[in-house]
Amino acid sequence: MSLLERMRSSTDSSGMQLVFVAVVATFILAYGQTSGDQAGTVAMVNGVPIRPTDFSRELRIEEGQAGSLDEAGRERLKDQVRARMIRSEVSLQEAEALGLQVSSREIAQSLLDTPYFSEEGKFSEKRYEAIIRQQGFTRAEYEDRVRKSLLRSKLDMLLWMGTSVAEPEVKAAYVNDATRIDLEYVRVRPSLFQDDMTFTDEEVATWLADNEARVKETYDRDFERLYDVPDKFHARLLRFEIREDGVEVNALEERMKGLLAELEAGADFDTLARRWSEDPSASEGGDLGLLTEAQLGSKVVSALTGVEVGAYSKVLADERQVRLYRFEAKEAAHVISMDDVKNDIARAIMVEDAAPAEAAAYAEKLLGSWTGDAAARTAMLDEQELTVLTTGPIPLSGDSVIGGVPAPILGAARDLAAGDTLPEVQEISGVYWVGALRSRTEADMTRYETEQENVREQVLFGKRREFREMWLDAAVADATVR
């Protein structure tokens, strides 16, 4: 019998029926106006459509919380909102399949308990009607949303209460949390070895013969960023910053025009920039290097257009600053062909491919030296400018980063005695970890009886949350979604 079938059959139990509790869950009101009906559907979940108007409303909320997003970020957010709405619809359908129901009394109580609809501490029919109308709902539509929200809450409660925890789990959790270990470790990243890796021209040519498609893929991916080179301008800058409590813009303009007159009379730009400019480039004599139009700004490029090499722009002033540019040179737009860079790209890929093996070999050697000659280990670490880090006393429990190390490292260290090294090099997300246990303090079991109930609640909470997510994952997998 599948997980879903077991859950559905469990509702016949009078014991399970007793756990249905009316959980007040209200629809958040500050959603803004709907965008009107749209053609089509966002998704069909077991034949039930998710409407574009509902999707647009949810997406606007998420965008408001996420802040500024680029196009790729917005597309990812759309996928996340769609997936969550599918999950919500599946949850609703499963609640109905389990025979869960919401009465009119429960809906009314939920509305009465909603602070948005109250005036002076009492429910206001007039305020209720005004608010839901403002949000684009009829009374029937809004109360149906409340019904669905309560129904999902009942399902959540059923899943929540249908989970238990055994005594050995509680004791193991206490031991994991009360035991303290102090781990010293080194992280070995492949990037450490890339600068020292070289390949001959013959090796590159041999590799290219079998891998030119990879080079082409890399070239195409990076074309706009690296190889389609726009016009670039080399300029120097003198800049005054306008401050609220400082010299007014008109006076600063006149001062800048005075400096321009000195420059045209033969004064050295480098010297004046170092003395007077309030731009970070002052320490470089105002030298900005090569910049694109996007980096300089169209207003500056326009001011430099037509200016001869070694000559000056007009004085530019706005509400923030007063500027003067000296035009040094222009590099015309051009395209770097793949033939010009394919050997460089090939070398970079070869280095990237080979570096992990170098890092792994180094880590294995470092692990072997950990309990041996301390001077040899120090020399190895100094060679790569690596430092031994420590976690300080931390618990064995945890499913994320604790004390600077991820959970798999803690798992590898859980049975070690003080002085033992990790049993092997640990590779996590392309980084190689080497280390040893500095100290270990076992759990104080005399305190277990007094801590037992608190630990039980924590373990039970985690298991309930895990079971709920697992069950809903299975329900979504069973659903027909298109």
Q: Are residues 186 and 251 in the same domain?
A: no
pLDDT higher than 90, residue 442: yes
- Picking from 341, 332, 329, 77, the residue whose alpha carbon sits closest to that of residue 226 is 341
Per-residue model confidence (pLDDT) at position 401: 66
- Residues above pLDDT 90, as percent of the chain: 71
Q: Are residues 264 and 295 in the same domain?
A: yes
- Picking from 87, 4, 75, the residue whose alpha carbon sits closest to that of residue 43 is 87
Per-residue model confidence (pLDDT) at position 360: 96
- Residues above pLDDT 70, as percent of the chain: 90
Residue 283: how many other CB atoms lie within 10 Å:
11
User: pLDDT, tens digit, for every residue of 22-81?
Assistant: 333 333 333 333 434 444 678 999 999 998 988 988 888 888 888 888 888 889 999 999
Q: Are residues 275 and 384 in the same domain?
A: no
> Which of 27-31, 54-58, 92-96, 296-300 has the lowest average pLDDT?
27-31
Domain containing 120: what range? 3-162
Q: Are residues 37 and 76 in the same domain?
A: yes
Residue 481 within any structural domain of the chain: no
Q: Are residues 75 and 153 in the same domain?
A: yes
Q: Are residues 60 and 131 in the same domain?
A: yes
Q: Are residues 327 and 359 in the same domain?
A: no
Q: CATH number for the domain including 144?
A: 1.10.4030.10
- Strand extents, DSSP E, 203-339: 228-229, 232-241, 287-292, 316-317, 321-331, 334-335
Residue 118 within any structural domain of the chain: yes
The amino acid that residue 54 corresponds to is D
Torsion of CA 145, 151, 154, 160, to 10 degrees: -80
Per-residue model confidence (pLDDT) at position 71: 84
Q: Are residues 143 and 11 in the same domain?
A: yes
Per-residue model confidence (pLDDT) at position 17: 36
For residue 444, the number of C-alpha atoms closer than 13 Å in the C-beta half-sphere is: 4
Counting the structural domains of the chain, the total is 3
Q: CATH number for the domain including 282?
A: 3.10.50.40
Q: What is the distance between the alpha carbons of residues 16 and 7, in angstroms, rounded to a whole number?
A: 10
Q: Check: CB of residue 298 under 8 Å from CB of residue 231.
A: no
Q: Are residues 31 and 148 in the same domain?
A: yes
| Residues in CB range of 434: below 8 A, 6 or more apart | 185, 186, 188, 363, 366, 367, 370, 421, 422, 425, 426
User: pLDDT, tens digit, for every residue of 124-174?
Assistant: 999 999 999 888 889 998 999 999 999 999 998 988 888 889 999 999 999
Q: What is the distance between the alpha carbons of residues 346 and 200, in angstroms, rounded to a whole number?
A: 12
| Residues in CB range of 119: below 8 A, 6 or more apart | 127
Per-residue model confidence (pLDDT) at position 407: 86
- Picking from 179, 190, 214, the residue whose alpha carbon sits closest to that of residue 402 is 179
Per-residue model confidence (pLDDT) at position 57: 81
User: pLDDT, tens digit, for every residue of 242-295?
Assistant: 988 788 899 999 999 999 999 999 999 999 999 999 999 999 999 999 999 999
Q: Share the mean pLDDT of the chain.
A: 88
Segment 307-334 shows an average pLDDT of 95
pLDDT-derived band at 6, boundaries 50, 70, 90: very low
The amino acid that residue 231 corresponds to is D
Q: Are residues 154 and 188 in the same domain?
A: no
Q: Are residues 326 and 351 in the same domain?
A: no
Per-residue model confidence (pLDDT) at position 28: 35
Q: Are residues 325 and 350 in the same domain?
A: no
Segment 452-467 shows an average pLDDT of 91
